[in-house]
Amino acid sequence: MERKLAIGMFSSGGVADLGFVRNDVKFIIHNELLHDRSALLKLNHPDSEVLIEDAWECYEKVISFSNKVIKKDELFLLFATPPCQGMSSNGAGTLLNNVRKGLRPKLDPRNRLIIPPLIVASILKPEWIVFENVPGMKNTMIEDENGKLVNILELVSRKLGNEYRGEAKVIEFADYGLPQRRKRLITVFTRNKLAKQALTDHISLIPIPSHDKDGKNGKKPWVTLREALSGFEKLDAKDKTNSQSKINPLHKVPVLDAKKYTWIMHTPENSTAFDNQCVNPNCRYNNNPKHGTARNNNGINQTKKSTPLYCVKCGSLLPRPYTNENGHLRIMSGYVSAYKRMSWDMPSSTLTTNFIYSCSDNKIHPSENRTLSFLEASKLQSISDYDYKWGPIKIKNNVYKLAPDTLIKDVIGESAPPMFFDKMCKWMIELSKSTTVKNRGLLQYVS
């Protein structure tokens, strides 16, 4: 069997890589800056060399080590997920116009971390190059090696040269069967002749979506929370006894204080605690004004400051998020997506590293009084479908039977779902071996 060798950069805990591994791709080397992520990376990719260094400092080592391993073989894949914190949501045109006016923008140096993997790719010439990042990457401007401001995707194309062809597309992972709304920019370049011809034939290098919100055009409906979370043991965040499973150590949630528990307890499905109504048994008034946004004197849209905290009919304290300022209660500042229950009949909203917090964006369990557990979040990211190990690991001088909670939540929240890259890899392999549209088997590889 032909060896399909790969390199991973900015790999975090190596979660997304498992989608490629399932298709007999062997990672020979990974790069990750943080020691705690690297511990999980080593555990789940034991045959890969892991460089715990800044990409700028170690890309030459990546090239040197890879050349020794590859020898006469070809490198199949370079997979990189550079940091996204600095990616801009501003239009590239606006930035360039400001530069022409002499208003040079302050650029985030982290965005230039795309350059080390490009150097690696230009020397090792992998058959496929895949980047995953936030949609804002499309508009991000960085300085090239000459200090000239350039769109980041234009720089990718220029650095790889004419030997490669590719595309960048914002995709919705729910369209591929993930029970989670999560949009990301997938950038794919290849030097495979058949795959490049596919692109010429208007066939995308990115798999065709298998799902649709409403199940139209022959596609399956989005996978809902009801489908994804059915059968999970019930938990309750009121106390420690009921907040964790006796069976699975990953199925646990933080205990909520009495105030937050009350707010959540009275919050209906697909609603926010900011809209909760009167719970006084002698009143039960259900038409108290709801929360929302309003424009201030400067025309800026902000959360309302006038949302009532007390029932307008009986004066009782409403079970809405509030803060206490020197004995005076006022509505808490926050958008209506905070302290909000998810809907059983939709995928979850995007998981972030804050998914365990009740004030996070739309992360209250659809019917139970708690946030998502680590186990449930792992399912919504498709991690639990790939036998990912969370321990035992050693972080510097400490040995953990199971990774610390903070590390688990961070790796889950910052990772890309391996399920998509499993489908992505199947698609890449198919495009690499078929010569006609008729024989490409377009739909079977995303079902």
Q: Is 9 helix (H, G, I), strand (E, B) or coil?
A: strand
The percentage of residues in the chain with a pLDDT greater than 70, rounded to a whole number, is: 89
217 φ, ψ (degrees, to nearest 5): 55, 40
Kindly indicate the confidence band of residue 334, based on its pLDDT and cuts at 50, 70 and 90.
confident
Supply 275's token pair: 């809209």
Q: Within 13 Å of residue 292, how many CA atoms lie on the same side as its CB?
A: 5
Q: Inform me whether the pLDDT recorded for 379 exceeds 80.
A: yes
- CA distances in angstroms from 106 to 103, 115, 319, listed in the order given: 9, 18, 44
**What are the residues whose beta carbons fall under 8 Å from the beta carbon of 123, sequence distance 6 or more?**
63
Which domains, from first to last, does the chain contain? 4-219+416-440 (3.40.50.150), 233-372 (no CATH)
Residue (of 33, 37, 131, 104) closest to 416 by Cα position: 131
Q: Which two tokens stand for residue 163?
A: 């030997």
Q: What is the mean pLDDT of residues 108-125?
A: 89
Highest mean pLDDT among 305-309, 326-330, 372-376: 372-376
Pairing of strands 128-133, 75-80: parallel
Rounded to an integer, the average pLDDT of 386-414 is 96
Count the helices and strands in the chain (H runs, E runs). Answer: 12, 17
- Mean pLDDT, the chain, integer: 90
67 confidence band (pLDDT: 50, 70, 90): very high
Examine the pLDDT at 439 and tell me if it is beyond 60: no
CA angle 399–400–401, rounded 5-degree value: 125
Mean pLDDT of 121-145: 91
Write the DSSP symbol of residue 317: B
For residue 77 the two structure tokens come to 């894949």
pLDDT of residue 91: 45
Alpha-carbon gap, residue 295 to 299, rounded angstroms: 5
Tally of CA atoms within 13 A in the half-sphere of 307 that contains its CB:
27
Which pLDDT does position 97 carry in this prediction? 54
Confidence of residue 220 (pLDDT cuts 50, 70, 90): very high
What b/e string do you get for 358-379 counting C-beta neighbours within 10 Å, with b at 16 or more?
bbbebbbbbebbbbbbbbbbbb
Predicted TM-score (pTM) of the model is 0.90
Instruction: Enter the DSSP assignment of 383.
Output: G
- Given pLDDT bands bounded at 50, 70 and 90, which one contains residue 435? low
Distance CA 290, CA 319 (A): 12
- What mean pLDDT do residues 118-125 have? 96
- What CA dihedral angle connects 435, 439, 442 and 444, to 10 degrees? -130
**Which range among 7-11, 200-204, 331-335, 429-433 shows the weakest confidence by mean pLDDT?**
331-335
CA dihedral 361, 131, 387, 12 (to 10 degrees): -70
Residue with tokens 């298709």: 23
Question: Rounded to whole angstroms, how far apart are CA atoms 425 and 180?
Answer: 21
- Dist CA 119 CA 113 (whole Å): 11
Query: How does residue 318 score in pLDDT terms, banded at 50, 70 and 90?
Result: very high
Q: Are 367 and 386 in contact (CB under 8 A)?
A: no
Model confidence pLDDT, tens digit, residues 225-261: 999 999 999 999 999 999 999 999 999 999 999 999 9
Percent pLDDT > 90 in the chain is 77
pLDDT score for 237: 98
Task: Measure the CA–CA gap between 307 and 309, rounded to whole angstroms.
Answer: 7
Q: Taking residues 39-49, report their average pLDDT.
A: 98
pLDDT in tens, 267-301: 999 999 999 999 999 999 999 999 987 665 665 55
What confidence category does residue 110 fall into, taking pLDDT thresholds of 50, 70 and 90?
confident
Confidence at 392, pLDDT banded by 50, 70, 90: very high
**∠ Cα 214 215 220 (to 5°):** 140
| Cβ-contact 209, 176 below 8 angstroms | yes
Task: Decide if 222 contacts 212 (C-beta within 8 A).
Answer: yes
The model's confidence at residue 147, banded by pLDDT at 50, 70 and 90, is: confident
Helix, strand and coil content of the chain, in percent to the nearest 5, comes to 30, 20, 50
Q: What angle do CA 43, 371, 181 make, to 5 degrees?
A: 75
Rg of the chain over Cα atoms, rounded to whole angstroms, equals: 24
